[in-house]
Amino acid sequence: NFIQAQNLTDECRQLLLSLPSEKGWWSPSIHLYQGFWHKTRFMDGVLSTQRNFKALDSDVLLITTPKSGTTWLKALLFALLNRPSYSRSSNYPLFHKSPHEVVRSLEVDLYVDNPDPDLSSISSPRLFSSHLPFGSLPESVVSSKCKLVYLCRNPKDTFVSLWHFMNQVRLEDNLGANPMEEAFEMFCRGVSAFGPFWDHVLGYYKASLEMPNKVMFLKYEDMKERPVEELRRVAGFLGCPFSENQDEPVNEILRLCSFDRLSRLEVNQNGKLYNGVDKKFFFRKGEVGDWINNLSPEMAERLDRITEERFSGLGLKF
Ligand code: A3P
The tens digit of pLDDT for each residue in 160-197 reads: 999 999 999 888 777 888 899 999 999 999 999 999 99
Amino acid 175: pLDDT = 80
Cα 236 to middle of ligand 1, angstroms: 24
Task: Inform me whether the pLDDT recorded for 125 exceeds 70.
Answer: yes
Which ligand 1 atom sits closest to the C-alpha of 164? 2
| Residues known to be catalytic | 131
For residues 2-25, give the mean pLDDT. Answer: 89
Flag whether pLDDT at 150 surpasses 70: yes
Predicted confidence (pLDDT) at residue 11 exceeds the cutoff of 70 = yes
Summarize pLDDT for 187-238 with one digit per residue, the tens.
999 999 999 999 999 999 999 999 999 999 999 999 999 999 999 999 999 9
Q: How far is CA 95 from the centre of its chain?
A: 21
Average pLDDT over the chain reads 94
CB 257 less than 6 A from any atom of ligand 1: yes
**Which residue in 2, 77, 74, 9 sits closest to 45, CA to CA?**
9
Query: Which residues have a Cβ under 8 Å from the Cβ of 288 and sit 6 or more positions away?
Result: 154, 157, 220, 221, 224, 225
Tens digits of residue pLDDT in 62-102:
999 999 999 999 999 999 998 755 556 778 899 999 999 99
- Asked if the model's pLDDT at residue 149 lies above 60, the reply is yes
Residue 134 to residues 52, 57, 154, 222, 314, Cα–Cα distance (Å) = 17, 18, 19, 22, 17
> Using a 6 Å cutoff on CB, does residue 64 contact ligand 1?
yes
CA distances to 68, 73, 103, 269 from 260, rounded to whole Å, are 17, 15, 20, 12
33 has a pLDDT exceeding 60: yes
The whole-angstrom separation of Cα 36 and Cα 132 is 9
**Ligand 1 in reach of 70 Cβ (< 6 A):** yes
Answer yes or no: is pLDDT of 300 > 90.
yes
pLDDT given for residue 143 in this prediction = 97
Lowest mean pLDDT among 20-24, 167-171, 294-298: 167-171
Nearest CA to ligand 1 atom 23: 259
pLDDT at residue number 246:
87
105 forms beta bridges with 129
Q: How many CB atoms lie within 10 A of CB 199?
A: 16
Q: What's the pLDDT score for residue 226?
A: 98
Whether residue 69 has its Cβ less than 6 Å from ligand 1: yes
Is the omega angle on the peptide bond into residue 20 within 30 degrees of 0, that is, cis?
no
The pLDDT assigned to 214 comes to: 98
- Among 59-63, 235-239, 260-264, 314-318, the minimum mean pLDDT is found in 314-318
Domains of the chain and any CATH numbers: 2-314 (3.40.50.300)
The pLDDT of residue 216: 98
